[in-house]
Structure 1
């Protein structure tokens, strides 16, 4: 494995040069606007050299995936623009897609030729995803979609969206939902950016007013959407999380270096350091398992930790934390959203209580 680690490290060192050298540390949650076109070229450069889709079946071992994500973060390589397609939809299609769907969509995801967004949350169904009301009706061989999605990351640059929609009239909760693959560039779809506390707009509202997709663009059987959607969320909390944790460690180390000799702050920094190691151990322990409710523990852990780190950064830096351009300020402002997207902390606690610990409702 050390040979593979050396290979990754040397490749990144040799390729993060020229225009790509300027991308180090750019992008990521709350900063997706940074050098987007250049980062897209970087993603396609990775694809041309075989460094995309590493988590797909038959590509790389779990250990190799861990090494790649760790070295990628240590090199401060830019945040990927294709994470939704490669990290979420790709594994979902590998597990549940038809041969035709895999042949149509996977090569373009791997090559970063088509970008994706995730159509889950709605104004009345954010944390309670089972309450989605966006509906789709099969008419003359096409799904006709009507409804609204919100907090749709990168919808303004996406070519396709995987949409959770209600396809059985009168169905409730988890029943009667389907997982549809919908092209974004068509009449009947309107994308409205949402301005965030950070001043950026990577989240969007998406309105479907008679938008269509082909009948065969349903993953799994109609009505199986809840199962497919939950599997997608499980993939979201997999091995790539280790790369995020390396970036978290870098943020923490920067704070430790700037911290005053205050015993209360030092105690909080020590606790953050310990919690980060616990998070890594838990992630390693659960890698390779089938996506399930245990993934909620990982999501709950990292989102809460990063939110606390943002708060700690403001206290460590004091008045200087309020100056524009301070990267820790972006962490503080955006990390609250991390406790909501991908499944809110409150919902994750419910899942852990009922499905992992077996507690009564």
Structure 2
């Protein structure tokens, strides 16, 4: 596997670096602090995405006709590396850019593409993903939210849970049951639901680290129209899976964040002292760091291998489940070790002595959710076993 970059790719890197130096929010490199108030945060992130979109940096893999750069996979790798390097602000429309937009290009009608894609790109319309329900998480085909045709509209009732970005969202890529079907995968339809209507209520779920990323969404006679259906009525499972394939690819790119986080943890071990010596002087700490390094490099190499296959076949495949599994589990392991390595200091929260303003503690608590959201680690293992290794199906299903 060749890890070198061509002169053209290095030129692409330099172009992006120069743009970031000139366009990152004022004072970002010094503080990297996001607004604490939710409304102000939403405005800040929308403005940042609009800045990216105006220079075609918001969705570089998209075709040029849709506001992208038609970037190669190697250019995407460089893009992620550089964004991680400067710890650029997150994209408020992650779901729209990485999942909904590509799915619309793949399956949506020309009218849907024209209506939604430009606003997805600029952040004018933020999207969320209405998949999981209280009784339909890993078993997504068990959705109970219903959509009933009444005249010229569909009336939708039900509940979604663990919905990221719903508190910012203008639209939702919603999975609902439109008929019973012979099998539970049948009778499902995907809607491009307007969130700004009386029948939609969003309630926050506060995580154990005190932050708010997830929500419950209650649908009471919410309304959608035929033009807001993507794919065919009762044949939405195919669309549902198509979107998930794009999600896995986006999650896999987090391997570059892991690389940066590992380097930061090594710095902690080199600078934080205990018993008048740096933590890294302890053999046990070095052993743990070496184990983390091998896992981090393994995750990165596996991501490159899957990208190589994607280059050959032209679209993401089930191998994205491997990336998702490795990244989720590695993230949890890294932050767990970060807390352990710091000893008693790792137990601090908001005290003055806490390392890096509590960065490690907050992300440690958040990391547990990463092995659940986007498909649990157990589900990823089943997918890998059955669809990649060709093993028999899980007897429990």
TM over 0.5: yes
What residue number does 1:312 align with?
A: 337
* Residue number in structure 1 paired with 2:54: 48
Aligned: 1:354 with 2:381: no
* Off by >4 Å, runs of 4+ in structure 1: 19-23, 31-34
Which 5+ residue runs of structure 1 have no aligned equivalent? none
- Asked if 1:285 is matched to 2:305, the reply is yes
Q: TM-score, normalised by structure 2?
A: 0.85
**Aligned to 1:5, which of 13, 17, 20?**
13
User: Which deviates the most, 64-73 or 333-342?
Assistant: 64-73
Whole-Å separation in 2 of the counterparts to 1:239 and 1:154: 16
Distance 1:285 1:23 in 2: 36
SS at match of 1:204: strand
Question: Which residue is equivalent to 2:246?
Answer: 235
Question: What is the distance in 2 between the residues matched to 1:219 and 1:69?
Answer: 30
Q: Which residue in the other structure is 1:38 paired with? A: 44
1:79: how far off?
A: 1.2
User: How far apart are residue 156 of structure 1 and its match?
Assistant: 1.0
Question: Quick one: structure 1 residues 240 and 68, their matched pair in 2 at CA, closer, same or farther if it must change by over 3 Å?
Answer: farther
Q: Which residue is 2:102 aligned to?
A: 91
Q: Tell me, yes or no, if structure 1 residue 123 matches structure 2 residue 134.
A: yes
Report the CA distance shift for 1:57/1:110 in structure 2 as closer, same or farther (over 3 A).
same
TM-superposed CA distance for 1:252, in Å, is 1.2
Question: Would you say the 8 A contact 2:34–2:41 is kept in 1?
Answer: yes
| TM-score, scaled to structure 1 | 0.93
**Aligned residue-pair number:** 357
Does the CA-based 8 Å contact 1:25-1:79 persist in structure 2? no
SS at match of 1:164: strand
- Asked if the contact 1:23–1:78 (Cα under 8 Å) also holds between the matched residues in 2, the reply is no
Structure index of larger Rg: 2
Instruction: Tell me which moved more, 1-10 or 67-76.
Output: 67-76
SS of residue paired to 2:71: coil
- Is 1:163–2:171 an aligned residue pair? no
Instruction: Evaluate the alpha carbon distance shift between residue 197 and residue 9 of structure 1 in structure 2; reply closer, same or farther with a 3 A threshold.
Output: same
Please name the residue that 1:257 is paired with. Answer: 267
Give RMSD over aligned pairs: 2.1
**Residue segments in structure 2 that go unaligned for 5+ positions in a row:** 1-8, 65-69, 270-278, 351-356
Question: How far 1:26 moved relative to its partner?
Answer: 4.8
> Could you tell me which residue of structure 2 aligns to residue 343 of structure 1?
375
Give yes or no for contact 1:23–1:35 (8 Å, CA) kept in 2. Answer: no
Q: Give the superposition deviation at 1:90.
A: 0.3
| Pairing 1:181–2:192 present | yes
Residues 258 and 316 in structure 1, CA contact (< 8 A), matched pair in contact too? no
1:211 aligned partner: 222
Change (3 A) 1:125 1:300: same
1:291 positional shift: 2.9
In structure 1, the partner of 2:23 is 15
CA 1:67 to 1:32, structure 2 compared with 1: closer, same or farther past 3 Å? farther
Q: How far, CA to CA, are the matches of 1:26 and 1:329 in structure 2? A: 18
Shift of 1:39: 2.4
What SS does the corresponding residue of 1:155 show, helix, strand or coil? coil
In the alignment, the residues of structure 1 paired with residue 40 and residue 296 of structure 2 have an alpha-carbon distance, to the nearest angstrom, of: 27
CA distance in 1, matches of 2:369, 2:333: 12
1:189–1:206 CA contact under 8 A, matched in 2: yes
Alpha-carbon distance in 2 for matches of 1:126, 1:315: 32
Report the Cα offset of residue 240 of structure 1.
6.5
Structure with the bigger RCO (C-alpha within 8 Å, sep 6+) is 1
